[in-house]
Chains A and B, each alone.
Chain A
């Protein structure tokens, strides 16, 4: 069979899977809470894959990915909600309408995030390691605090008033606070995750991905073979930012999520979780980022759910002085420490579940 037929068939099959996900998800998972968890995990996969471009493939260390996701979430929330209002604000977020709303929201989110990715990529040319990490953290926090400290009630004409249109600390809930449009159902979330996996895979095994890895291994040597460090570093930031922005768009528009975006969603812990996903799975590994994204999201939720067990409730009543919420973080941290001790370079290292066209290195015999 010619390869284009195979590829076409595969593409059709994947589209079918995404369409099926749209309609099957509410049936298979009738419980909203669990459905939200699945949707969050799908978004987490996109987040982890996009951060993996900077932290895994390029070997830079960004601890500000929440900034890109947040920028994407806010951008898409504004775009989607206003377009939704143009449609006359139908109460059902129908699948057919989603094709008019989600693509522009995603594109806008990706573009705005790309601009910030470019700007943040520039310091990466001069800064390395910890210093770059601090800049990325600063970027994410500036974004969050700019929104959180603005207020729509501030005097008109001030910056605070302008940015305050995004809802300030209370969060953004669409025009007239009617809630942001939530069109990203199973189709867009599954489709987004699949697309992200395919792109990440192709990037990793492309000439571009290899040049990026070369740059990570040895900058002087990479320059000596003709890889331009400047353009590669900045491009890696831009690509990662676009991915983060699109993840943000999916997060904001998640069908069963909350119909607001809040600045505090995108705090340091959000970035921290994203880093955990990448490192846990294995920096530079596409499979690792996917599994890391799912694992971190699900583990967080399972530990949360455990708190609702009767025995835990009884314990809580018997020992009111023990802060179980703090304990949750201890358990989570312990899991991470154990994993890092057992597998210092993550579950997969830089390897993949299935071999790429240029398979992983063989260890010497």
Chain B
């Protein structure tokens, strides 16, 4: 996995220091409070997971970081910059890419077009070709289907494509929303191995995942969200052994 970017400088913060800091973040849909003031930190080079039940606010958090939802209160800081006034496309430019939930691919476009759109922010031809090679390295199945309409791929392949497309932007911070949702177990394994490989190349990852066991296996640290608040946080290993987490999220 090559990660150099043609126009973007490396993050200002050092490896191991906070790359993304969320402080007292509140988000509301109409009158409904989806996030009631959460604090969260992702350090450069980490895989961090957010776990929790449906409606806990995990997706809301990711969408708000990506500036797809308005911030009601609180701040989100990425690499020392307040992202509040930025638009989604500015954030992509700054190095934050989101893989939206539910295999959000462009179904009517070919697999190759999907990937090339991922490089929309730099449009660097050479880099594009290189990254496509890397994506094929991660997901050989995608390589076999480059000319196919993306909508005709299987669910797992679509998720692979969505991740590949985000990688095309050569992000510094990758936000992944439920990569395992509705996907055959065999493919889930491949997808998480790929996520681990992306992290190994130096990309920081914030992962939302309902499959707690999987999330805690791959993430270094995790946050447990409960109805819009952070209920628990810590090292994944410690959380996996926490009896409360085991009872609630790991099926006893």
Contacts and interface: CB of A to CB of B under 8 A. Distances in A.
Do chains A and B interact in one complex? yes
Interface in B55-112: 66, 68, 87-89, 92-93, 97-100, 104-110
Contact of B120 (A211, A217, A363): A211
Contacts of A224: 66, 68, 88, 92, 97-100, 104, 166
A361 B99 contact: no
Interface in A312-365: 350, 358, 361-364
Nearest to A284: B108
B123 interface: yes
A16 interface: no
Contact of B121 (A214, A216, A226): A226
B19 interface: no
A213 B113 CA distance: 10
Contacts of B104: 218, 220-221, 224
A216 B152 CA distance: 17
Chain B contact residues: over half helix, strand or loop, or mixed? mixed
Given A226-B169, A358-B113, A363-B149, A213 B92 contact: no
B44 interface: no
Given A224-B166, A225-B169, A361 B92 contact: no
A256 B157 CA distance: 57
Contact of A223 (B68, B118, B168): B68
Contact of A361 (B116, B147, B169): B147
B108 A217 contact: yes
B43 interface: no
Interface in B126-174: 145, 147-149, 152, 162, 165-166, 168-169
A210 interface: yes
A146 interface: no
A37 interface: no
B106 A226 contact: no
Contacts of A207: 120, 123
A364 B117 contact: no
Contacts of A223: 66, 68, 88-89
A223 B86 CA distance: 13
Contacts of A177: none
A171 B100 CA distance: 53
Given A210-B113, A217-B108, A361 B149 contact: yes
13 contacts: A211-B117, A213-B108, A218-B104, A218-B107, A220-B68, A224-B104, A225-B92, A225-B117, A225-B121, A358-B110, A361-B147, A362-B110, A364-B148
Q: 8 smallest A-B Cβ distances: which pairs?
A: A226-B92, A221-B104, A361-B149, A217-B106, A226-B121, A224-B98, A226-B89, A223-B88
